[in-house]
């Protein structure tokens, strides 16, 4: 077990890799809200410790070891999230920040206990997959951003981006949860906003909001 900072870098890099984003100093700095210089500094350390492959000015990649390690941090994070949601009853806009701190503190034994209590969940409260102990990732349902669903088409919410609490809170307010059926009624070319039907109500949502909600068609 390394320190908190190392764990935060590694899990951030892991998540970027998973979402097929090219991992650059830049991107990490923004995610972690620190300077580029600090990131460069740390990348050297991570590289020296064998967690990442790093050459000056080039993209960053996790090594096998790094990926294994990072997947377990993400695993801990997501198990905490669902524990906090299902057992403790925190709303889905509160669990991420809490889990982000707890993920570095709990022992593996405790996380295993939590997982057992939850009966081995495969997805976190935002629909993100929980990596297994071996790093394997549960099969995700196909999905596209709600912003790309065509008018007249319906689908189910299978995932939402979990990095903005205000966004998540608003989703709750309009009754948008995982599993909910949504129909796109209209797209306004004026501002690219969408008129959607959810819970038998029609609601207008911005394109930006819609692009962070993921829908499984059929």
Residue 198: C-alpha distances to residues 96, 121, 151 (Å): 25, 26, 14
Q: How many residues bind DNA (CB under 7 A)?
A: 27
The token pair at 174 is: 């309009």
Residue 61's contacts (CB-CB under 8 Å, 6 or more residues apart) are: 17, 23, 52, 53
If binding is defined by CB under 5 A, does position 96 make contact with Mn ion? yes
Q: Does 84 bind a copy of itself (CB under 8 A)?
A: yes
Token digits of residue 106: 């709990």
155 forms beta bridges with 182, 217
* Residue 1 lies near a copy of itself (rule: CB under 8 A): no
Q: What is the DSSP letter of 162?
A: -
Q: Determine if 162 is a binding residue for Mn ion (CB under 5 A).
A: yes
Is 90 a binding residue for a copy of itself by CB under 8 A? The answer is yes
Number of residues this chain uses to bind a copy of itself (CB under 8 A): 19
The yes or no reply on residue 11 touching DNA (CB under 7 A) is no
114 binds a copy of itself (CB under 8 A): yes
Contacted entry of Mn ion, DNA, a copy of itself, none for residue 102, CB cut-off 5 to 8 Å set by kind: a copy of itself
Q: How far is CA 96 from the centre of its chain?
A: 9
Which chain residues interact with DNA by CB under 7 A?
3-6, 8, 24-27, 32-45, 54, 56-58
């Amino acid at each position: 077990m390394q320190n908190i900072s190392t764990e935060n870098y590694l899990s951030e890099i892991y998540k970027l890799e998973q979402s097929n984003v090219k991992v650059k100093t830049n991107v990490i700095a923004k995610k972690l809200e620190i300077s580029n210089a600090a990131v460069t500094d740390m990348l050297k350390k991570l590289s020296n410790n064998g967690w990442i492959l790093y050459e000056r000015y080039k993209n960053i990649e996790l090594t096998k070891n790094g990926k294994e390690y990072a997947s377990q941090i993400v695993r801990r994070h997501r198990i905490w999230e669902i524990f906090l949601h299902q057992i403790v009853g925190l709303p889905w806009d509160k669990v991420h920040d809490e889990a982000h701190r707890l993920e570095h503190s709990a022992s593996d034994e405790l996380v295993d206990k939590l997982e057992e209590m939850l009966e081995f969940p495969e997805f976190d409260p935002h629909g993100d997959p929980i990596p297994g102990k071996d790093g394997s990732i549960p099969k995700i349902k196909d999905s596209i951003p709600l912003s790309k669903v065509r008018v007249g088409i319906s689908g189910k919410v299978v995932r939402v981006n979990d990095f903005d609490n205000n966004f998540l809170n608003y989703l709750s307010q309009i009754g948008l949860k995982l599993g909910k059926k949504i129909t796109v009624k209209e797209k306004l070319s004026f501002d690219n906003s969408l008129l959607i039907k959810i819970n038998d109500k029609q609601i207008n949502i911005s394109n930006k909001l819609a692009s962070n909600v993921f829908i499984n068609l059929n």
